[in-house]
Amino acid sequence: MPTPHPTATAFSEFVFRKTKGGNQTPVSAAIGEHQKWIGAISEETHRQCRALASQCLATDQPPIQKWKVLFEGQSKGADEKALECRFLTVNGSPMRCRPDLVLQSDDDRKHKAVIIVERKVRTGVYDYPAVPDNCWENVRAQLWCYAWISDWDWLRHENVLLVAEYYWHPYPELGEPVYMGCRGIWRREDPSFNRESIRYFRDFGGIVDPQSDMPGLDT
């Protein structure tokens, strides 16, 4: 068995094959292809994420008024800026990640929060695709890795929000994709969310450092 690459993308593809069967890849799946949507992230997307955070973040802290873009994985030079997860390793190497969009609250360290967004596009041309409200395991696995990036693994678990967005783009040559909306919102504090991906990560050959204090981690 080849040594797995310590990247969130490789892990997501592993989970996809494991849950869908065979040797399919995310771009060759028979039921609705899905790829990375690399279009520009609009101010409207930023606004929606900020509104989402105001509803989902813990209520025992002051409301967050200001947000800033912390990371855009599709921006120029993003390949050189891949982020690492010190608590998630494969063969001794930390997992490397490049989230599509990360917004960070612009306030004090005690109440700081992040919103991490993964964006996918479906390319099947025959039907408007149905995406379940909680997406699929491979998308959740990718977001799980992002939740544990070292730059923000010190935050309160309830202050790390994970969002999956989908687009439909059956005819790429004919303009912009159709926004299919948010298809899942999770907090890093959710034990069942963590537990699911921990199981797949161990099958992948990964090790979760118990010092992470990860909810749902059974050492």
Give the per-residue pLDDT at 29. 37
Q: What separation in angstroms does the CA of 175 have from each of 115, 118, 169?
A: 28, 21, 8
Q: Which CB contacts under 8 angstroms, 24+ apart, belong to 126-129? A: 128/168, 128/178, 129/32, 129/168, 129/180
Give the per-residue pLDDT at 27. 40
Place of tokens 């991490």: 116
Q: pLDDT below 70 — which residues of the chain?
A: 1-2, 21-65, 74-80, 108-110, 219
Q: Which tens digit of pLDDT belongs to each residue from 102-120? A: 988 877 666 788 999 998 8
Q: What is the pTM of this model?
A: 0.83
Task: Give the pair of three-digit tokens for residue 106.
Answer: 């612009």
| Nearby residues of 202 by Cβ (< 8 Å), 6 or more positions away | 208
Give the per-residue pLDDT at 22. 45
